[in-house]
Amino acid sequence: MKSQGKFEDKLRVAINAKADKICPSEDMFLQINRKIKNKNMEGMNMKLFSVKKTRGILVACMLLAFTSITCFAAAKIASYTSHSTNDTFAEYPSENEVKKEAGFVPKYVDELSGGYAFQNGGVGETKAEAEDGSAVVTLKTATFSYKNGESTVNLLVENGVLPGADETGDIVKISDNIEGRYHSDTYKMLPPDYVMTEQDKADAESGKYVFSYGSEEIEVLHMQQISWEDNGMSYALINSDDGVNKDVLVKMAGEIVNK
């Protein structure tokens, strides 16, 4: 899936959600991650992204987009392409298993504050592409989903740091030596054949909603994300069901950083 424009911090992969609806950018999370990064890039007049729907990938795509919007203006990034799966790890994986499937070993845990336990995980990659379609940067990704009842929190890790810096969102202190960025946006997911109304266009222009195509039906999701860098890797925790708040996400991030 390709998302155009800027994306905020790093493309992210997973959001889970509604469990099985992740979009291909590999998971709506990825798409959302990118959207955030796009906010830092010039040339994006309206927050509108397309996502190809694939069961189990829609929300993940959002995740990626949400976490992936860094400034690539200097490299003239025109779009991002990402793909991933959420079924590589049906059970909590060992570091050796993650290394074998993802090609790198990030920090991850088997449970997070508030009763969130590991549910599944996957691997993939994210590409930042130039206008001619050539890949400027390609990063391997690993995603881990945690559930507590009907609520899900997704962890997306990229094996590297995309060009540019995330200068949007609230600065949060995760540990004594690591700070992150908190983002909160409302996404309106649209069916592939949906035609935006004048009100939709006005809502996109005002920033009320970030629009994405790829859902089976119109759906509004409140996306929260905390992103940070640690030991040369990019991390993002994402939630789309309001099961947690900013303070809880910061605490969860600290548990991963201090593993």
What percent of the chain has pLDDT above 70?
Answer: 66
Secondary-structure percent of the chain, ordered helix, strand, coil, rounded to 5: 20, 35, 45
Q: Please name the amino acid found at residue 192.
A: P
Who wins on pLDDT, 209 or 57? 209
Q: Please name the amino acid found at residue 2.
A: K
Query: Which of 87, 86, 66 has the alpha carbon at shortest distance from 6?
Result: 66
Q: What would the pLDDT profile of 187-209 be if each residue is shown by its tens digit? A: 888 888 999 999 999 999 998 99
115-129: average pLDDT: 90
CA–CA separation, 180 and 253 (whole Å): 9
33-54: average pLDDT: 43
Query: Which of 35, 251, 34, 234 has the alpha carbon at shortest distance from 143?
Result: 234
CA–CA separation, 12 and 30 (whole Å): 3
Sign (positive or negative) of CA dihedral 24, 30, 36, 41? negative
